[in-house]
Structure 1
């Protein structure tokens, strides 16, 4: 199979629903035009496109991409819950990997309603029914939003099994909010104290409001290309190679082992990571920067272990040592993550790709992680899909990194 490269990326700022001017098609246009400009391409050179969104009518992808040009290309619309953006990227990658195309656009966008997510269709089977019913059997239900209960219960199980403390989850939120101060694309750019995070309104279990991701509006895009296309267009200096990308859906163990962490996607993430490491030939120790699906601080903590960033049961120690931030073993969510950057469902996975591409190219400015060689992306959707991708510079000998990449970023956490 052929190699696949990210050659152009772009995104909008993420904003609170109802506060962003324009509509989803205009946000997608902004992201696509930025990606095209980054890749020094025109829309005429895009052979196929994949559009990801969760809330919207069937051909929103066409309506969004038409803003940039009606070139007659195939446009595929995909929805995989919160993993939608990475799913669009994965499908685009397969088009190139399989030799069908040399240049493909992946775009994700979302226009959301304020407040917690609720079912849109109540006259049919809920796609998360199996997960929620098992969670109810194991832990019961409260009036809190169901997704918050699911991920909160996963954190409670981790506390019970391994002695994790509520402050470990709060420390994750503290870190991500602090990281977001340096991200102009982030919905929130406010640094909070640990006291403010712990004392913000309780939502469920150990989770307070400042440990939960907000609903958001926004868009992100990436242009993918074959090696032949990269070389023929002289884009080696900026090409980022996707050296592995694995999608895993729910396994039997999600339900058979009656674990609240497994119901919340632990085994999907673990399996996707193991396959990505095997395919790429690298280990978690080789990775410098991670964009991880922190819809709640509890999910970030259990996913450290699922991805092999630390041993099972040792996430609390990993956090206490500062191994999840600047100056530590890995920098996790330098963008601020979903908790602070925001979570427009269809755009999230592609925004992770944008951030990691910037990090590898040395273009992340004040949040630049020094000397990035390998980057990992993790995107998760209940019901279910987990996607793990590993990136590196495609042609490092042709790349002159931004000087910021060689500046040591001192941790103040």
Structure 2
């Protein structure tokens, strides 16, 4: 990279339940993209390329969405990297700017989903053809393959292993969800804004033991967007007061470490998340001790605990005690998922990673309203997708 990329505008829609009939994917993308451009004070004609993430729409849905903003003939890229799709689009947009190829690029993500749990990833119904067949094969060898939703199984089994190996408790898993549901009450864009007690969470329907419904992210509709610009562009357009620097960013995929142990803890991404965090810290010159606010991929409560460990907030096995101590909420060492996270804000696959960027940008600008983290200067986003990809981004004001 020859330069620094800056986030100069962000926008997102409310995240809503699928099949609500509220809008179509191109309409939600137009709202998020238009809001990001307005936030930056820029005309769409200044955008040189658009990188657009989606998982469940047709192949050139990105063009359909971007054409709502303007017909300028710029390159439009369709990105699909499972649940890490949004952050992958953001990373590509950042690379275009930081490399010096472009001065102003749009990263956009959206999803219009269907009700119900995600499947195992085999579109034809042939499990062997699934892109995550190797991941589920590791799980099946140790735990079998049941009838509950596959993603809940693999993360639920990771939770069981964490409990057996480290003594993590059901109450500590529930503390993650209790915190994130409480945080979302202050987020007008969140799909769910109800506050739930730990007893409510433990008493909700079991999806795959030990995970209950209120510890699982929902399917969602929604969109998010970010405008990234070069230092020269920021200076020439007078955007210094609102620009947030991408200080470090890395994407990793699975290595042998994901599969060699035969553990669901590894196969759901702790090793690749740790590798991505290490690289992002090295590039930025920052460490976990420098971070104030974090948006991480809590698709299930256990994954927040695994990610604490991968990001270096604590040692392996200490994450249950960390969340129980209050260190990851307001008044603690870090505020994790002030937006409510995936569990409560929602999880429209293509939008999630960019929505994390939007939340952190508002936090670092001091514009997060009732969920503002006082004095936040450094933010970290973490987004993963089985199959696999992990993206860690460090933003600095």
TM range (shorter): over 0.9
Alignment root-mean-square deviation, CA: 0.9
The answer to whether the 8 A contact 1:53-1:110 is kept is yes
Q: After superposition, what is the alpha-carbon deviation per residue over 1:150-198, rounded to whole angstroms, capped at 9, x for unaligned?
A: 1111111111111100110101000000000000000000001111110
The answer to whether the 8 A contact 2:138-2:263 is kept is no
Does the alignment pair 1:121 with 2:124? yes
Q: What does 1:246-395 align with in structure 2 at a 5 Å threshold?
A: 246-393=250-397
The equivalent residue for 2:102 is 101
How far did 1:316 drift? Answer: 1.7
Q: Distance in 1 between matches of 2:37 and 2:201?
A: 39
Q: Distance in 2 between matches of 1:176 and 1:20?
A: 27
Q: Distance in 2 between matches of 1:166 and 1:321?
A: 15
* Matched residue count: 393
Gaps of 5+ in 2: none
How far did 1:121 drift? Answer: 2.7
Q: Distance in 1 between matches of 2:33 and 2:124?
A: 31
Gaps of 5+ in 1: 394-413
Deviates more, 1:230-239 or 1:303-312: 303-312
Q: Distance in 1 between matches of 2:198 and 2:26?
A: 38
The answer to whether the 8 A contact 1:176-1:333 is kept is yes
Q: What does 1:37-52 align with in structure 2 at a 5 Å threshold?
A: 37-52=38-53
Q: Distance in 1 between matches of 2:380 and 2:113?
A: 27
Q: What does 1:402-413 align with in structure 2 at a 5 Å threshold?
A: none
Q: After superposition, what is the alpha-carbon deviation per residue over 1:349-377, rounded to whole angstroms, capped at 9, x for unaligned?
A: 00000000000000000000010111000
Deviates more, 1:106-115 or 1:301-310: 301-310
Q: After superposition, what is the alpha-carbon deviation per residue over 1:299-333, rounded to whole angstroms, capped at 9, x for unaligned?
A: 11111101101122111221121001000011000
The equivalent residue for 1:80 is 81
How far did 1:122 drift? Answer: 2.6
Does the alignment pair 1:89 with 2:93? no
How far did 1:137 drift? Answer: 0.2
The equivalent residue for 1:408 is none
Q: After superposition, what is the alpha-carbon deviation per residue over 1:118-169, rounded to whole angstroms, capped at 9, x for unaligned?
A: 2433357110000001110011121111111111111111111111001101
* TM-score when normalising by structure 2: 0.98
The equivalent residue for 1:143 is 147
The 3-state SS of whatever aligns with 2:68 is coil
Does the alignment pair 1:57 with 2:61? no
Deviates more, 1:7-16 or 1:152-161: 152-161
* TM-score when normalising by structure 1: 0.94
